[in-house]
Amino acid sequence: MKITDAKVFVGGPGKNYVTLKILTDQGVYGLGDATLNNRETLPAAYLRDYLIPAIIGMDPRNSEDIWQFLYRGAYFRGGPIAMAAYGAIDMALWDIKGKIAGLPVHQLLGGRSRDGALVYAHAAGSDLEDLADSVAARIEEGYRAVRVQCGIPGMPGAGYAVPGTRGARHYITDFGGLRPSVEYWDSGRYLRYMPGALCELRDRFGPELKILHDVHHRLMPREAAAFARAVEPADLFWLEDPTPAEDQDALRLLRQHSTVPVAIGEVFQSLWQCNRLIKQELIDFIRVAVTYAGGITPVRRIVDLAGMHHVRTGFHGAPSHSPVSMAAQAHLNAWAPNFGIQEYLVLGTAECDALFPSDHRMEGGLFHVSDAPGLGVDFDEALAARYVYAPGSHPVVRLEDGTMWDY
Ligand code: CS2
Ligand code: MG
């Protein structure tokens, strides 16, 4: 069996999905997702210009060797662009493997370990009342777990992922062009306000709702430790990215002062970046994505390493992920003995479902993986021709005096 060709499509309904289609001499094809938010043309170019020409003629069934060829074969390797491109190829090869075996990918990994995978949605508000309305709406939709982000008095619309006005929606990507808008941040105001707000939500919604919160890497180690201690009465399911991801030692201080579950890893691109945090048991959830962590092949290894250290999965599932990588993650979620939760924001719009038909379904806050062979998601190429790439950016963050901060 041979890979004969591969095509890359960039675009989608309100998103620049990077979709890879690998074709074979036996008519079976595989799909992959290389979407890297706001940098979409780069993994696409890496695939088209370098990787696709190198894998044509290879046997697509040898997905492990092809992954090693891409990763170890490159002297300058890794980084989010390259890993997203390897990830897309790897997903497509697992899709092909499943289709020729007549089995869904989760069966190739070890089968189903659960009936449905717990997912979480996002709720955000310009203030606490607005946020409470948004949480109530998610519960109404059936979600049992919700990530909550709230405007801070004195800086509405300036927390991470919060709308500027009541009832508005917050979109991370602004398709107005490549020059980012500026949001402001004040750790002092955040630290004074947010613990009380989270406790208030816990009181209002009761003990059963799983509440998650994302700090988006904005606190210093001492502040993060103090914040983690202050939010303990809110009984969070997790506290996400409390400190900048580059400094893994930062978490030690937090761990010494709090038992709040910590989730990290959406910006990690390899097993090596997860290795220390997992082995030293400094985190409770690992947040990698099958796209920019390089595909199912390496993420399966991360999951197994995590399982040895009581770390559960909580894969990244921001809206920038296409239904193809969400399907790849759904198969891992169905199998992983140490599954925790899945961030879930992608399927559901009619346009998206038409472009990527599948019978994966979300019901009662659980994701039910499809039993169709392979990844269980298809791609309508004719429909894809309607969508074009739209340059976008997410905001940058500055302190009130103009100092740059972590987005
Ligand atoms: C976020 C991401 O979903 C999350 O947890 O942290 O949405 C992140 O802001 C985006 O992926 C950035 O592109
Ligand atoms: Mg996050």
CA of 103 to the centre of ligand 2 (A): 33
Tokens for 264, please give them: 């990290």
54 Cβ contact partners less than 8 Å away, ≥ 6 residues apart: 69
pTM above 0.75, yes or no: yes
Residue 358 DSSP SS3: strand
Q: For residue 346, what pLDDT is reported?
A: 64
Long-range pairs for 156-160: beta carbons < 8 A, 24 or more residues apart: 156/126, 156/127, 157/126, 157/183, 158/183, 158/184, 158/185, 158/186, 159/185, 159/190, 159/194, 160/214, 160/215, 160/216, 160/218
Residue type, 115: D
CA of 63 to the centre of ligand 1 (A): 29
Residues around ligand 2, an ion, CB closer than 5 A: 214
Ligand nearest to the backbone CA of 120? 1
Please name every residue paired with 164 in a beta bridge, in sequence order, or none if there are none: none
What ranges make up the beta strands (E) of 109-266? Answer: 117-125, 145-150, 182-185, 210-214, 238-240, 262-264
Q: For residue 325, what pLDDT is reported?
A: 98
- Per-residue pLDDT tens over the stretch 262-318: 999 999 999 999 999 999 999 999 999 999 999 999 999 999 999 999 999 999 999
CA of 389 to the centre of ligand 1 (A): 20
CA of 29 to the centre of ligand 1 (A): 30
Q: List residues with catalytic annotation.
A: 160, 216
Whether 374 and 28 have beta carbons less than 8 Å apart is answered as: no
Ligand nearest to the backbone CA of 289? 1
**Ligand 1 within 6 A of CB of 172:** yes
For ligand 1, atom 11, name the residue with the nearest CA. 318
Residue 29 DSSP SS3: strand
Handedness of CA 396, 399, 405, 407 (dihedral sign): negative
Can you tell me the distance from the alpha carbon of 32 to that of 20, in angstroms, rounded to the nearest whole number?
5
Could you give all domains of the chain from N- to C-terminal order, each with its CATH number?
3-104 (3.30.390.10), 109-371 (3.20.20.120)
- Atom index in ligand 1 nearest the CA of residue 147 equals 5
- Atom index in ligand 1 nearest the CA of residue 216 equals 6
Ligand nearest to the backbone CA of 265? 2
Residue 390 DSSP SS3: coil
Q: Identify the CA nearest to 280 among candidates 300, 320, 251.
A: 251
CA of 258 to the centre of ligand 1 (A): 25
> What CA dihedral angle connects 319, 242, 331 and 107, to 10 degrees?
170
Tokens for 90, please give them: 């790897």
- Atom index in ligand 1 nearest the CA of residue 161 equals 9
Q: For residue 402, what pLDDT is reported?
A: 95
Residue 277 DSSP SS3: helix
**Ligand 1 within 6 A of CB of 394:** yes
Q: For residue 169, what pLDDT is reported?
A: 81
Return phi, psi of residue 174, to 5°: -105, 115
Residue 313 DSSP SS3: strand
Ligand nearest to the backbone CA of 40? 1
Neighbours of 399 (CB within 10 A): 12
265 Cβ contact partners less than 8 Å away, ≥ 6 residues apart: 245, 273, 274, 277, 283, 285, 286, 287, 288, 316
| Among 120, 175, 214, residue to substitute to test ligand 1 (most atoms within 8 Å of Cβ) | 214
135 Cβ contact partners less than 8 Å away, ≥ 6 residues apart: 123, 146, 148, 201, 205, 209
117-125 and 339-343: which strand pairing?
parallel
In this prediction, the residues of the chain whose per-residue pLDDT falls under 70 are 156-157, 346-348
Q: For residue 159, what pLDDT is reported?
A: 80
**Ligand 1 within 6 A of CB of 342:** no
| Among 119, 160, 172, residue to substitute to test ligand 1 (most atoms within 8 Å of Cβ) | 172
- Per-residue pLDDT tens over the stretch 129-183: 999 999 999 999 999 999 999 999 987 667 888 998 898 887 788 888 899 999 9
Residue 232 has what DSSP assignment?
Answer: G
CA of 100 to the centre of ligand 1 (A): 35
